[in-house]
A and B are shown apart, each in its own frame.
Chain A
Amino acid sequence: DAGVTQSPTHLIKTRGQQVTLRCSPKSGHDTVSWYQQALGQGPQFIFQYYEEEERQRGNFPDRFSGHQFPNYSSELNVNALLLGDSALYLCASSSQGALYNEQFFGPGTRLTVL
């Protein structure tokens, strides 16, 4: 059973560019959440997708947008990249029907903005 997968593993961009990160949830999961984790910090919630709609959103600007597809996979898009967007981007999946509804994390995408 494959866990949560993310691509790419690493990415280097320059300021002003746009980036798309991808996530495939764990088998049987229907909900995908995205987090930004700066070095030495805990993950910060960006948004959550369920049934192809953004259900919850954290304190991130509109430059951060996303999408969920019918197969539950998801994309995170960031426009007009800033140096401060450099971080590890984590995708987590969960199931609405699970006992704890705990989130399972993917390995992350390390984004560097130069």
Chain B
Amino acid sequence: GQNIDQPTEMTATEGAIVQINCTYQTSGFNGLFWYQQHAGEAPTFLSYNVLDGLEEKGRFSSFLSRSKGYSYLLLKELQMKDSASYLCAGRGNDYKLSFGAGTTVTVRA
């Protein structure tokens, strides 16, 4: 199984940058995912990392360090619509996806 830890809440101002950290402990590792979930809605896929380094996708970037069991999601140029829960999920060699409890990001004007 896997243990995924991420902060519960973060608050930032519109236009700012926020970094959501995630640490994981795995027995086998086959990728780290980030999902965005707005209240009352389904999670939507944001990013996937399986090799060390930074993956950039527009305003969102995700970083992975396998040796440290660490990932972060970077949200740039924050917009009000970015207010949501961000879920870090690790996939083991058994292809099970284990989610953290989610980080609620609140963007203020």
Chain A interfacial positions (CB closer than 8 Å to B): 4, 33, 35, 40-45, 48, 56, 58, 90, 100-108
Contacts and interface: CB of A to CB of B under 8 A. Distances in A.
Interface of B: 4, 31, 33, 35, 41-45, 48, 87, 89, 94-102
Contacts of B97: 33, 45, 103
A107 B48 contact: no
12 contacts: A40-B102, A42-B99, A43-B87, A48-B95, A48-B96, A56-B95, A90-B42, A101-B95, A102-B33, A104-B45, A105-B35, A108-B42
* Majority SS at the chain A contact face: loop
Given A42-B87, A56-B94, A106 B99 contact: no
A95 to B, nearest CB: 13
A43 B18 CA distance: 23
B63 to A, nearest CB: 17
Contact of B42 (A40, A102, A107): A107
A2 B98 CA distance: 26
B45 A102 contact: yes
Nearest to A50: B95
Contact of B48 (A35, A40, A44, A102): A102
